[in-house]
Every structure is written in structure tokens, then in C-alpha cells.
Amino acid sequence: MKLINNLIIQIIPFLPKFFVKIVASPYIAGITDNEMLDNVKKLNAQGFKVAIDILGEHVQTESEAKEITDRYVSIYDEISKRELSANISMKLTHIGQDLGYDVVKKNLYDLVRAAKKNNNFLRLDMENVPYTSETIQLYKDMFLEYQKIGIVIQAYLHRSLSDIKDLSSESFNVRICKGIYVEDPKLVLNDYQEIRDNYIRLVKEAIKKGSYVGIATHDEYLIDTLCLWLKKNDIAKNKFEFQVLHGVPIRKKLKKLMDDGNTVRVYLPYGDNWYDYSVRRLKENPKMAGYIIKNLFSSILRLR
């Protein structure tokens, strides 16, 4: 199966866009803001909370960065207007991080002000290593303005345990994920089980220091291991939540988590950049190719 998955990943970039859209559609929440907001409402009705992300990164001009910033600001207003259970999770390179610290800080401040106005939460996604330290500094700068703001820490980086120890407190909100970027091998853990072990270590360290933790993973080993630890240590359910990517088929596990009283938040990507995102996700996670095979056969049956 692994061989088949890798073969599919090699040919995906050469397939027609309409074909990729069919098989990638479960992972994308639409193109327009209204399509996305309708999907948020549906997920809320199923008991899920949501983190919204406009697909895209590394804008080239200040006008593009401002346009994305304004779009996020309007989404905050729509979340309030429609009484949705959702917040925003965004990449700093999408609002101008490559264009200079002053540019991204100004746009980020506008987003923080919109979050504060709507009494909502803002998450700063973590990108690759060249941006890590600056992202943490921007988080610290914005935290002085508004405390309902969080960050992401990646378990495959050697530095992450030190970052968790430095940042953790009762007012710290962190999403912990494994990490997906290709980095200098000297900066990352390369063994799969070592990354898992470090992931567990980071979650425990943050929770022990009173932080709120978004346990962001589809790895059922990590979910099960951490569920046992959380239960054994009588960790209050308002100190953590589980987070999953929209469309990844582990619905039985998610239902079990919610039946046990846990909060589950769906990371909801959407927007015009769905194609690049879909291809990238497939390359980063070969197991998704297996899911695509199932979707492909289902699509063929629907078209017959």
C-alpha cells in the first residue's frame, strides 16, 4: 500500500485540476467566505468547534497582505454575527512577514484588535525555522495587547522543549503539532518514534505548567496515550482540546473523544489556493493517498 500511495503522490501534480478537486474536496471547506462559514455552521451543529484558515502564504506585496488582513477582520465580524463557535488560525507570511517586521506587526495588530472587539481568539501558525524566533517575538508583542492569542509549537524541532518551558504559564495557549516542513537535519528529530515521544513530552510539560493545550494530531497512538495520561492525572477538560484537520477520516475516534466530554476543534482551510494546498498536503503525508483512493472510487460511482 505504501508503494501505491507514493506512486499516486508522484502523479497528482500532473492530473487535471478538476480531478484533484474531486479527490481533495473533503479536505477543503470551500472557495468563498460564505461557503466556509456554511461549513462552520454544519460542523458546529455536529458538536465541533472550528479554527478557520485562509489558504495561502508568502504574499509578495503590502497590498496583498492588507487584503488578507482585512478579510480576516471581516470573518471575525461574521463569526459574531452568525453566533458561530470558531476562531482564526493564520500564517504570518500571509499577512506580510516576508515584507518586514513593521509590515507584519501592523497587520497583526489590526487582527488582534478585531479579535478583541469580538471577544474571540487568534492563533499564530508556526511556519518553517527561519520564521520561528520572529513568530514567537510577535506573539509576545501582541500578548501585551490582548491575552486571547496563542501560538503553535512543532514537536520535531530540537528547540521546542526549551520554547515550551520559556513560554508556558496559566495564560499560555499553545497548539502542539508534529511539524511538516523540510528542515536542516541538525535542527530536527528524524526518527518517527522520537518525534512522538517529544510530542508527548511537550504536551505534558505545557499542561503541568498550567497552559491550555491544543493536541493537534491524527495519530491515534498519540491520542490514546495522552488520553490515558490526562485521565490518570485528573487533568480538567477545560485545560486542553483535541484538534484535527478537516476531512481526515478518523470520525469514530472523534466521536469517542466527544462522547467522553472532550472538546474537538476542526482546522478548516479554504480559499482560492486550494490546489497548491492539496498537492502539498499529499506530498507531506503519503497516507492521505490511501484516503484519496477511497474517495476516487466513491467519485467514480457517483458519476456513473
- Between CA 116 and CA 201 the distance in angstroms is 32
Kindly tell me the sign of the dihedral angle through the C-alpha atoms of 113, 117, 119, 120: negative
Say if residue 72's pLDDT is above 60.
yes
Residue type, 15: L
Is 234 one of the annotated active-site residues of the chain?
Answer: no
How much is the pLDDT for 139? Answer: 98
- Between CA 238 and CA 216 the distance in angstroms is 16
Is 125 one of the annotated active-site residues of the chain?
Answer: yes
CB of 189 closer than 8 Å to CB of 199: no
Q: Confidence band (pLDDT; 50, 70, 90) for 249?
A: confident
Q: Which CATH class is domain 29-270?
A: alpha beta
Q: Which three cell numbers stand for residue 2?
A: 505504501
CB neighbour list of residue 53: distance below 8 Å, 6 or more residues apart:
88, 89, 90, 91, 125, 267, 268, 269, 270
How much is the pLDDT for 288? Answer: 55
Buried b (16+ CB within 10 A) or exposed e, 190-225: eeeeebbebbbebbbbbbeeebbbbbbbbeeebbeb
Q: Give mean pLDDT, residues 241-246.
A: 95
Return the number of other C-beta atoms located less than 10 Å from residue 20's C-beta.
18
* Burial of residue 75, with CB atoms counted within 10 A of its CB: 0-12 exposed, 13-18 middle, 19 or more buried: buried
CB of 90 closer than 8 Å to CB of 51: no
Say if residue 95's pLDDT is above 80.
yes
Report the percent of the chain where pLDDT is more than 70: 81
Distances (CA, A) of 251 to 9, 174, 266, 303: 24, 24, 11, 25
- Between CA 225 and CA 150 the distance in angstroms is 24
The secondary structure element, H or E, covering residue 137 is helix 132-143
Q: Give mean pLDDT, residues 86-93.
A: 98
SS3 261: coil
Distance of CA 52 to the CA centre of its chain: 9
How much is the pLDDT for 302? Answer: 47
How much is the pLDDT for 54? Answer: 96
CB of 153 closer than 8 Å to CB of 174: yes
Check residues 175 and 20 and name the one with the higher pLDDT.
Answer: 175
Q: Give mean pLDDT, residues 27-45.
A: 93
Q: Mind listing the pLDDT tens digit for each residue in 151-194?
A: 999 999 999 999 999 999 999 999 999 998 889 999 999 999 99
- Given 123, 175, 196, 265, which residue is catalytic? 175
Domain ranges of the chain: 29-270
Q: Which three cell numbers stand for residue 180?
A: 511538516
- Between CA 223 and CA 201 the distance in angstroms is 13
Say if residue 274's pLDDT is above 50.
yes
Q: Which three cell numbers stand for residue 270?
A: 479554504
Q: Which three cell numbers stand for residue 261?
A: 466530554
- Given 53, 123, 125, 196, which residue is catalytic? 125
Q: Mind listing the pLDDT tens digit for each residue in 255-271?
A: 999 999 999 999 999 99
How much is the pLDDT for 22? Answer: 60
Q: Give mean pLDDT, residues 139-157.
A: 97
Which range is least confidently modeled, 147-161, 251-265, 273-287? 273-287
Q: Which three cell numbers stand for residue 259?
A: 462522547
